[in-house]
Amino acid sequence: MPTPFDNMTLRDAIYGRSSVRAYEPGKIDRPTLQALLEAAVRAPTAIHAEPWHFVVVQDPALLKRLSDRAQHGVMSGPAHLHRGNEFHGTSSRPGFHVFHEAGNLVLICAKETKQFETADCWLAAQNLMLAAHALGLGSCVIGSAVPALNLPESKRELGIAPEITVVAPIILGKPRGGAVPSARKEPQIISWR
C-alpha cells in the first residue's frame, strides 16, 4: 500500500534533508505527526528494547516558556556547548526563540539513558527527520535545550515523569524560504583492512 513517503527515494531523503531554522507559523496536523512517530519507531533498537517515549508540544505559550528557560541555561552554561561564539551571540539577542518559532516540538525520551537506549532514541530521531523531509517539512535538533527540558519544572509542565529523560528535542514545521543541505566533509577513514 503506498504511503506519503513513497514519493521520494531514500537517497533524495538522506542527501536533501537539512536543519531548518526558519518556519512558517502553524501546527502540523495530528495524522501527519502520527505518521512521523510511526516512522520513528521503525528505527533499529538494541535487543528490541524500543526505549523511546514521545512528547508533542504545539502550545505556543508553552514553547515560549521552554525557549526562555533553555535560553537562560545556554547563556549560563559552559561555552564549549556553543559552535564558536556564533550561537552564544545569537541566543543573547532579545526575543531569541531557541526553537526558532517552530509551532511543533517533538521530544524523544527514554526511561533509562544507558548507552543503547540513548543511541536508539537518536536512531528514532533520524527516522523522524528523514520522514519529515520526505513530506516537505523541515526539522532541526535543538540539543542546547536538553538541560532545560530535563529540569523538574519543565517535566511538570510537559507531563513527563521524573524518571523519564528527554534525549532528543526536534522542532518541525513548514520551512520558510528554501532549505539547502549543508556541505559535508568526505568520510574520514581511519583504517580499511
Residue 120's alpha-carbon distances to 40, 114, 184, in angstroms, are: 10, 10, 24
Would you list the domain boundaries of the chain? Answer: 22-173
Query: Whole-model pTM?
Result: 0.86
Q: 122 and 30 in contact (C-beta within 8 Å)?
A: no
Q: Which CATH architecture has domain 22-173?
A: 3-Layer(aba) Sandwich (3.40)
- C-alpha cell of 53? 517515549
Sequential pLDDT tens for the chain (193 residues): 446 667 788 888 888 898 999 999 999 999 999 999 999 999 999 989 899 999 999 999 999 999 999 998 655 544 444 444 444 445 556 678 999 999 999 999 999 888 899 999 999 999 999 999 999 999 999 999 999 999 999 999 999 999 999 999 999 999 998 777 778 888 888 989 9
Burial annotation 44-65 (CB, 10 A radius, 16+ → b, else e) = ebeeeeebbbbbbbbeeeebee
* Bridge partners of residue 75, in order along the sequence: none
